[in-house]
Amino acid sequence: MDLVHLTGWAALAITVGAVVFRAGYRMGREDASGFGEDQERRQETSYTFRGLNFLLSDEPDKAIEAFVNVVRINSETVEIHLSLGNLFRSRGEVGRAIRIHQNLIARPNLSDAHRKAALYALAEDYRQGGFVDRAVDAYRRVLDLDAHHRKALAGLQALHENEGRWDMALEVLRRLTRVTGEEDPRREAHLLIKIGLDLSRAGGESDQQPAVEWFRKAVRVYPGCVEAFRLLGEAQLAQGKVKAAIQSFATLKKNRPSHFFMLVEPLKRAYAQKGDLEGFESCMRDAVNAPAASPRLVALWSRELQSHNRTREAVDVLLKGYSKYPGSVVLARLLVRLLEHLNREEEALGVAVRCLDHLLSQQPGFQCSQCGFQAQDIYWKCPQCHRWDTMEPM
């Protein structure tokens, strides 16, 4: 059993169970041993059981005390040391955890499996304690012993990411992907973007091409990446490649229509630079009429029309969008304002009432005053926190 993959209480409980079993087995088998030794083993077993009981009754401090006694009597018990160290770490006592794991690693006769477990535990100690370089070193030593150690790869990856070492984070992510077979294109794309951004800052205005290459890689890895398309298009605009920029911004319309509204502003800028506002309008009509057009996009386009005093067209766009999203407060508010502006008060009132009705039908009827659980009907016993009679009408 690889103990590293179990953490906290579960690991300790299982470990202790195994140690107790072995201790009992040994006692039964070695009846012929001397009296003093026998008594020590009885004591060890007794402390172990006591520790286990404290553990199960959720008294970690007393459990730690008992296990420390076990370790004192029998310093050979590697598993108990490992788990004790992990327990200290989980309680925030990183210094004690580090000491225990370091002492284990210093043992010359440690098995490879135990050395790996202790090194990984030490890496986690260092990470939690904020000793970044030492943590990196410890993770790398685990990976020297076992290049496929998933948790070490994941820990190292997270560490590089938190430190903003994007290229290293990417390298470890790819190793992790090879080991697990599970791809994480969104993470990979954003790491590629970060590397591109660093290059973009370093290159200055004159040399954006290296950054563009990384943004392109991000787009290929994750074709729904809003930020990659935005940065790619902006860099292309900066290079004077207006047509390519328009192409980049507009591709998101197809790849991720829910987020396309976020690129409307740079898209308009690009079309304006090209002197083709008709092209912009036709692109926007296309997007707004698509089945996946988001309420935010509809609102944006109607505001655009309104800003050119094309109020009637703005209302039409909103009415069409609102029939698809009757719960959208953004659309309802815009629509009510414009209808009032056009003196179509009755229609405005109709929209407001319909929106309120829709919101009311979505609203849960009751909420637990203890844990916040919401439900349409009342539960006399809260399904989430299991307290009785805590649900209040909303």
Q: Name the site residues for Zn ion (rule: CB under 5 A).
A: 368, 370-371, 373, 382, 384-385
- In the complex, minimum distance from the CB of residue 392 to Zn ion, in angstroms, rounded to a whole number: 11
Whichever of 270 and 382 has its CB closer to Zn ion, that residue is 382
DSSP string, 156-213: HHHHHHHTT-HHHHHHHHHHHHHHH----HHHHHHHHHHHHHHHHHHHTTT--HHHHH
Rounded to whole angstroms, the Cα distance separating 96 from 129 reads 11
- In the complex, minimum distance from the CB of residue 389 to Zn ion, in angstroms, rounded to a whole number: 11
- In the complex, minimum distance from the CB of residue 359 to Zn ion, in angstroms, rounded to a whole number: 24
Whichever of 35 and 388 has its CB closer to Zn ion, that residue is 388
Rounded to whole angstroms, the Cα distance separating 69 from 91 reads 19
Whichever of 46 and 369 has its CB closer to Zn ion, that residue is 369
- In the complex, minimum distance from the CB of residue 372 to Zn ion, in angstroms, rounded to a whole number: 7
- In the complex, minimum distance from the CB of residue 387 to Zn ion, in angstroms, rounded to a whole number: 6
Rounded to whole angstroms, the Cα distance separating 125 from 117 reads 12
Whichever of 293 and 382 has its CB closer to Zn ion, that residue is 382
Q: Is the dihedral of CA 267, 273, 277, 282 positive or negative?
A: negative
Q: Cα angle at 296 between 194 and 290, to 5 degrees?
A: 100
Phi, psi (5° rounding) for residue 367? -140, 140
**End-to-end CA distance of the chain, in Å?**
51
32 CB-contact burial (10 Å; exposed 0-12 / middle 13-18 / buried 19+): exposed
- In the complex, minimum distance from the CB of residue 394 to Zn ion, in angstroms, rounded to a whole number: 14
Whichever of 74 and 367 has its CB closer to Zn ion, that residue is 367
To which H or E segment does residue 375 belong? strand 374-375
Phi, psi (5° rounding) for residue 205? -65, -30
Whichever of 92 and 365 has its CB closer to Zn ion, that residue is 365
